[in-house]
């Protein structure tokens, strides 16, 4: 996986050594020798990962990391602190500044590259979501009050005693549950949790296999995993990261360090979840009419084409209805646009009430609506159209001021798709039938003429 890495260290030999190692793995490398240079290079170069030294003059790595995470242009970039500092307080301070990991010099190359690859995979996913959601706020990893409040963490250990010990190290703000059976853990994770803490040091089950299973299932693919490993188990740590584990913490587990790592994972998950939600909402808006909640014309056209193609091949009949509210201009003139909009939304509700799950309804434009009915012949479609007409004529429509509109009716044209016919052809014949229904006095349905079929 190729990517751009920013290496920051005030010692030139350290920079060149790390640069050479990264280039040997086919990474593109940019460098900086001070905290301010790192900030400037991150803004201009937009690296994929920053390897940041802590002990630097003028501005140390902690302050540089805080400024990077406070800047909307750079806070989404993963930061790994690489330093000779190895005290618990240093690791916690680095993580609380927003760093994604804290590696102590001399750094094992295999571990470093595994961590970089892991962060790159995560960043690729987040970048795709950010690109798709152009208006997404850049609130990545910003400090939040009670960031862990209300989140569920699943602790998976070899026995209940070890699990409870790990559980006691978690922040008091999270809710947690201990599971000792990996099969049960997988099922619990699928039911909806915010993070997993998995003990890879147990001999009771294969923790790596559980990690792989969690990452392979759609329901748990995005659940953050923090793995507990022994400091000397470098190969297991690397394997875990390659399998998709988000973070590693060494035994003996320090509660302060675990709290900082949990907070980082939960903030990142919250950010990704918000992006996915906005993306889903954007996709929904792209195919939905904002007033009625029905599908829009663009979506209907694509689905109608698929339905007609199936009908044209002789697999099953298909029908299309075009419905138009009668004298709608008069309704708008009488009750105002607010009243007209309210009638349109109520009509959409009545339309939805008479549809099957397989039917597709859309607002085609103004007061005109279309319904595609797969596996439906002309006679069945006429029955459905009459049911809709009666639903409109039977009950009065409510208005914003509490009054009712008593004279709302609908005219409907119905066509069955014919062999060899296009979606446009079927819609055209249904529209011609609608015109005849209006010409005949409105508040009625008319079937399309078969002789209108294109040759």
Active-site residues, by number, are 367
DSSP 3-state of 245 = coil
Say how far apart CA 9 and CA 15 lie, in whole Å: 6
Say how far apart CA 264 and CA 252 lie, in whole Å: 20
DSSP 3-state of 404 = strand
Compute how many other C-beta atoms are within 10 angstroms of the C-beta atom of residue 125. 14
Say how far apart CA 319 and CA 307 lie, in whole Å: 9
Judge whether 305 and 363 are in contact, CB under 8 Å.
no
Judge whether 92 and 70 are in contact, CB under 8 Å.
no
Which strand ranges, in their side-by-side order, compose the sheet holding 152-156?
175-179, 152-156, 195-199, 225-229, 247-250
- Residue 58 CB partners (closer than 8 Å, separation 6+): 34, 35, 36
- Residue 67 CB partners (closer than 8 Å, separation 6+): 35, 39
Judge whether 45 and 6 are in contact, CB under 8 Å.
yes
DSSP letters, 314-383, are TSS-EEEEEEEETTHHHHHHHHHHHHHHHHHHHHHHHHHHT--TT-EEEEEETTEEEEEEET--HHHHHH
Say how far apart CA 129 and CA 285 lie, in whole Å: 17
Partners of 104 in beta bridges: 83
- Residue 140 CB partners (closer than 8 Å, separation 6+): 69, 75, 76, 126, 267, 268, 271
DSSP 3-state of 220 = coil
Say how far apart CA 47 and CA 29 lie, in whole Å: 9
Q: Is the four-CA dihedral 139, 140, 145, 151 of positive or negative sign?
A: positive
Judge whether 94 and 81 are in contact, CB under 8 Å.
yes
């Amino acid at each position: 996986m190729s990517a751009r890495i920013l290496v920051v260290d005030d010692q030139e030999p350290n920079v060149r050594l790390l640069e050479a190692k990264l280039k040997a793995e086919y990474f593109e490398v940019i460098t900086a020798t001070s905290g301010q240079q790192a900030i400037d290079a991150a803004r201009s170069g937009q690296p994929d990962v920053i390897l940041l030294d802590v002990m630097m003059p003028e501005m140390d790595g902690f302050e540089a990391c805080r400024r990077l995470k406070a800047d909307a242009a750079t806070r989404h970039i993963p930061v790994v602190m690489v330093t000779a500092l190895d005290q618990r307080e240093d690791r916690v301070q680095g993580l609380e500044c927003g760093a994604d990991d804290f590696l102590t010099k001399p750094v094992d190359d295999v571990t470093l590259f595994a961590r970089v690859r892991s962060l790159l995979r995560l960043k690729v996913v987040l970048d795709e979501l950010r690109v798709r959601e152009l208006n997404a706020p850049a609130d990545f990893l910003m400090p939040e009050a009670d960031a862990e409040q209300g989140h569920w963490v699943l602790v998976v250990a070899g026995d209940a005693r070890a699990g409870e010990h790990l559980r006691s190290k978690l922040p008091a703000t999270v809710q947690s549950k201990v599971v000792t059976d990996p099969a049960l853990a997988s099922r619990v994770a699928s039911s909806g949790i915010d993070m997993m803490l998995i003990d890879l040091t147990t001999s009771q089950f294969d923790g790596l296999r559980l990690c792989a299973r969690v990452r392979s299932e759609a329901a748990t693919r995005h659940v953050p995993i923090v793995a507990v490993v022994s400091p000397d188990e470098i190969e297991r740590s690397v394997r875990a990261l390659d399998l998709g584990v988000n973070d590693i913490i060494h035994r003996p587990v320090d509660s302060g360090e675990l709290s900082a790592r949990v907070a980082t994972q939960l903030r990142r998950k919250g950010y990704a979840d918000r992006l996915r939600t906005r993306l889903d909402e954007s996709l929904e808006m792209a195919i939905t009419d904002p007033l009625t909640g029905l599908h829009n014309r663009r979506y209907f056209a694509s689905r109608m084409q698929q339905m007609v193609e199936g009908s044209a091949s002789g697999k099953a009949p298909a029908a299309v209805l075009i419905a138009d509210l009668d004298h709608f201009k008069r309704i708008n003139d009488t009750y105002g646009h607010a009243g007209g909009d309210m009638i349109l939304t109520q009509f959409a509700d009545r339309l939805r009430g008479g549809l099957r799950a397989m039917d597709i309804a859309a607002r085609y434009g103004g007061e005109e609506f279309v319904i595609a009915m797969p596996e439906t012949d002309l006679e069945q479609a006429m029955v459905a159209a009459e049911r809709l007409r009666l639903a409109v004529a039977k009950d009065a429509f409510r208005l914003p001021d509490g009054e009712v509109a008593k004279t709302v009716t609908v005219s409907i044209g119905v066509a069955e798709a014919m062999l060899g016919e296009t979606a446009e052809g079927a819609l055209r014949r249904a529209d011609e039938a609608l015109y005849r229904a209006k010409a005949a006095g409105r508040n009625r349905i008319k079937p399309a003429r078969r002789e209108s079929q294109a040759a």
